[in-house]
Structure 1
Amino acid sequence: MRAKNRLTSSFIKTAPVGKHCDGAGLWLVKRDDGGAQWVQRVTIHGRRREMGLGGFPSLGLADARKLSERWRNVAANGRDPVKEREAEERAARREDISLAVLTADAFEARKAELKGDGKAGRWLSPLNLHVLPRLGRVPVTDLDQRDIRDTLAPIWHEKADTARKAMNRLSIVLKHAAALGLDVDLQATEKAKALLGKSRHVPKHIPAMAWQDVPGFYASLEEPTLTHLALRLSILTGVRSKPLRNLRLEQIDGDVWTIPAEGMKGRKGATADYNVPLSQEAQRIIDFARPHARNGFLFPNTRGGVISDMTLSRHMERRGLEARPHGFRTSLRTWLAEATDAPHEVAEAMLAHVVDSGVVRAYRRTDFLEQRRVLAERWASHVTGGTGQLMTLTG
């Protein structure tokens, strides 16, 4: 029996359903629907691989044998023919390895790690705004440090945080491309940083109101509007803007407000929700806001969503204040440091800050809710005009 060229053209045309060997690893697979596919089997590094060569009759017997011989020779030289063909296909379609395409692919691969599956678009925005308009069509294998330097130079000092994020995202995209087997320079971003030099940008902290001045501002929020009520609850709880604005009625249970883990900054992939103790004053503010609730949201807007962060900021801006809503977190933290004896880890827990390693947190299974409940009442007492004297946590 011949080792190769076992099949004939006449047999192929009438071959029954099943697998038919031509020899040397070449097989014709006849399907139930009448179609047929050429398959090449090779062994590379002790592992058997199968690769489709094409369908019959578009790929005839003679051409199938030529392809079979070609890929057998590749395997005989110690190279994986499947990977070799993939590399050839990528080279033939260079647009498919453009930075824009690889960026989208990298985002798809990691978006499950991002808050809300990355739907807010923040992960992509530094690249979409400052990198892809210029480098999106460049094959990722051609990208070098000079390309990156020239692209990010205009914002390197003026918008340092955005530039840093863009650089980090680029590094992730390059690593993703390397994992796909593309020949990229994984050091390109580090080299670009060296060419750009140290950023001269001095980060500016969000302006905050001195804790001693908070009671006066709190008292001025006397109208039962959503803006006033939201600002009051922001001051009382110290939570960030997003979970505050997206507060849903079902998250409130008595004197505890439970924020889902996915709604907390810096808690990607976390499974534990964050419990916020509500002082009596905070519960009173929530009761005032309940009549405004719509679609389950305590602070809705007129378009079916929730009030915007800008709404709260503009209110303070119109009042001629330098401080902004997020700054009340600083006001609370400074009060905790200067006017209470709260331990560091309890004070940080008041603002949902993660202060210890994952190992320490795994063994310390407490969120200090009871201690925070006491502090929340005392902070409420302060902002509603109570004493600013030193308050002990054990008193």
Structure 2
Amino acid sequence: MGSLNTTRIRAIREPGRYVDGDGLMLNVTKSGSKSWVMRIQKNGRRRDFGLGSLKDVTLSEARQLARDYRRMVKNGFDPIVERRRAASRMKTFREAAEAFFETNKPTWKNRKHRAQWMSTMEAYALPRLGDLVLADVDAPIICEVLDTIWLTKPETARRVRQRIGAVLDFAHSRGWRSREAPMRAVNKGLPKQPKQRGRFRAMPWQDVPAFVSQLEETESIGRLALRALVHTAARSGEIRGATWDEIDFGNRVWTVPAERMKAGKAHMVPLSLQAAQVFNRARELRIAGSNLVFPGQQPRKPLSDMTLLKILRDYQLPYTVHGFRSSFRDWAAEQSGLPGQVAEAALAHSIPNKTEAAYRRTNFLEKRRDLMQAWSEFLLMPWSEAEGKSDPDTSFSDFSHELN
């Protein structure tokens, strides 16, 4: 029988610890709050840990907990370690996803990827998985999440699948989950996705002058941005995120900072005379208070990627915005006469050979300046001259009735 009882506990007012027996104590603070404390000795080390507030844990419940913990110590377990382990195993998938995101976010140099990672999870994974304890996230539930988008949004679904697996493996590594992600079973439970044809489909390089000519007939921020993209062979995100402090009009160089580049390295883009004219026109239309070269409807936010794609769709063209980089690369290979390394440098492609990458010290800036000037001059040539060289099966002329 312990030394405490309900009447005595109610009467205690003085701060201090009041022993019930066998390591169980009632702790009373200066503010008058009362809680249970258990003292244990493990491997010669004495430690105290709380059992909860008196408001939540009665005297009889506290004694039962104390007995359970004493039995645990007798059997060779550390109650504090076991309690922490049990608490961690009660973590939800949402908590694990947020922890994974915060841990890995500093290593993701692509700002767009950082923004999309959690938004994608919130849209597709967390509504179903977020409140589940990690141990309950199994293959059937993951398949249930993916089934709704696996065939209709295949690329997004694959990303969600990968991110769910990464979160579960992260949780396993932290001891929050006893097993790794069941992705092999998930893959077996999903149907085969149809092959995506025409991904990053590129306009034949011979047809690009005709398209640029049509772009120039009507002016908008979106069309200016697309013209700049074609002239510079830049990625959509690089163009849409361009700021005025990146443009050196005197030297005709646009320097894209490392944090906006796919490879994580700053990239200098020599501007042809024609490209510089596009940027100058954008400067004439500059909105006060915005540092973006091509702002969206909200001046301090960039154009959406769909703005540029919509221009192609309005012409009923089956090409992608990213495909203009391929158009440029094909033209450079067939028409420029310059080494392929120069065109690859213009596209800011990483060097796959690590040894070559370690020894290459040049960025071919002056050769790229000549290359980009030749490309712009080709773009503004009478397009009928280029059209005659096109493959008749894929020619821009097939769609010319949409442009007239």
TM-score by length of 1: 0.75
Determine whether 1:317 maps to 2:319.
no
Residue from 201, 206, 214 that aligns with 1:207: 201
| Aligned-partner residue type, residue 257 of structure 1 | W
Question: Could you tell me how far apart the structure 1 residues matched to 2:114 and 2:83 are?
Answer: 35
Alignment of 1:189-228 (within 5 A): 189-196=183-190, 198-222=192-216, 223-228=218-223
- Name 2:295's counterpart in structure 1: 300
Aligned residues of 1:143 and 1:184 also touching (Cα < 8 A): no
Shift of 1:191: 1.5
Question: Could you tell me how far apart the structure 1 residues matched to 2:364 and 2:305 are?
Answer: 29
Q: Which range moves more in the overlay, 21-30 or 272-281?
A: 21-30
Structure 1 residues 36 and 154, CA, compared in 2 at 3 Å: closer, same or farther?
A: closer
Question: Could you tell me how far apart the structure 2 residues matched to 1:215 and 1:203 are?
Answer: 25
| Aligned-partner residue type, residue 247 of structure 2 | I
Shift of 1:298: 1.6
Structure 1 residues 302 and 196, CA, compared in 2 at 3 Å: closer, same or farther?
A: closer
| Aligned-partner residue type, residue 309 of structure 2 | S
Determine whether 1:278 maps to 2:271.
yes
- Name 2:165's counterpart in structure 1: 171
RCO higher in structure (CA 8 A, sep ≥6): 2
- Alpha-carbon deviations, 1:247-287, whole Å to 9, x = none? 1110112322122222223x4xx3x3222222222122211
Question: Could you tell me how far apart the structure 2 residues matched to 1:383 and 1:124 are?
Answer: 40
Shift of 1:172: 1.1
Aligned residues of 1:45 and 1:78 also touching (Cα < 8 A): no
> RMSD between aligned alpha carbons?
4.1
Aligned residues of 1:143 and 1:185 also touching (Cα < 8 A): no
Alignment of 1:27-46 (within 5 A): none
Shift of 1:381: 2.3
Structure 1 residues 204 and 80, CA, compared in 2 at 3 Å: closer, same or farther?
A: farther
Shift of 1:354: 2.4
Shift of 1:47: 8.3
Q: Which range moves more in the overlay, 287-296 or 192-201?
A: 192-201
**What's the secondary structure of 1:276's corresponding residue?**
strand
Determine whether 1:79 maps to 2:74.
no
**What's the secondary structure of 1:123's corresponding residue?**
helix
- Alpha-carbon deviations, 1:104-143, whole Å to 9, x = none? 44334333334338663x2235444444444444433123
Shift of 1:169: 0.8
Determine whether 1:339 maps to 2:335.
yes
Structure 1 residues 311 and 55, CA, compared in 2 at 3 Å: closer, same or farther?
A: closer
Aligned residues of 1:53 and 1:67 also touching (Cα < 8 A): yes
Determine whether 1:241 maps to 2:239.
no
- Name 2:391's counterpart in structure 1: none
Q: Which range moves more in the overlay, 281-290 or 176-185?
A: 176-185
| Aligned-partner residue type, residue 250 of structure 1 | D
Structure 1 residues 184 and 325, CA, compared in 2 at 3 Å: closer, same or farther?
A: same
Structure 1 residues 62 and 129, CA, compared in 2 at 3 Å: closer, same or farther?
A: closer
| Aligned-partner residue type, residue 281 of structure 1 | Q
Where does the alignment leave 5 or more consecutive residues of structure 1 unmatched?
Answer: 389-395
Shift of 1:370: 3.4
Structure 1 residues 194 and 319, CA, compared in 2 at 3 Å: closer, same or farther?
A: closer
Shift of 1:226: 2.4
**What's the secondary structure of 2:117's corresponding residue?**
coil
Determine whether 1:147 maps to 2:141.
yes
- Name 1:231's counterpart in structure 2: 226
Aligned residues of 1:152 and 1:163 also touching (Cα < 8 A): yes
Q: Number of residue pairs matched?
A: 373
- Alpha-carbon deviations, 1:262-321, whole Å to 9, x = none? 2223x4xx3x32222222221222112111112122222343233333332222333343
- Alpha-carbon deviations, 1:174-214, whole Å to 9, x = none? 11322342345424111211233653433432332111122
Aligned residues of 1:30 and 1:36 also touching (Cα < 8 A): yes
Where does the alignment leave 5 or more consecutive residues of structure 2 unmatched?
Answer: 387-404
Structure 1 residues 359 and 289, CA, compared in 2 at 3 Å: closer, same or farther?
A: same
Structure 1 residues 80 and 118, CA, compared in 2 at 3 Å: closer, same or farther?
A: farther
- Name 1:391's counterpart in structure 2: none
| Aligned-partner residue type, residue 199 of structure 1 | Q
Question: Could you tell me how far apart the structure 1 residues matched to 2:293 and 2:253 are?
Answer: 15
Question: Could you tell me how far apart the structure 1 residues matched to 2:158 and 2:261 are?
Answer: 22
TM-score by length of 2: 0.74
Aligned residues of 1:292 and 1:298 also touching (Cα < 8 A): no
Alignment of 1:65-144 (within 5 A): 67=65, 70-89=68-87, 97=92, 99-114=93-108, 115-116=110-111, 120=115, 122-144=116-138
Aligned residues of 1:38 and 1:64 also touching (Cα < 8 A): yes
- Name 2:281's counterpart in structure 1: 288
| Aligned-partner residue type, residue 72 of structure 2 | V
**What's the secondary structure of 2:80's corresponding residue?**
helix
Shift of 1:356: 2.3
Question: Could you tell me how far apart the structure 1 residues matched to 2:70 and 2:43 are?
Answer: 13
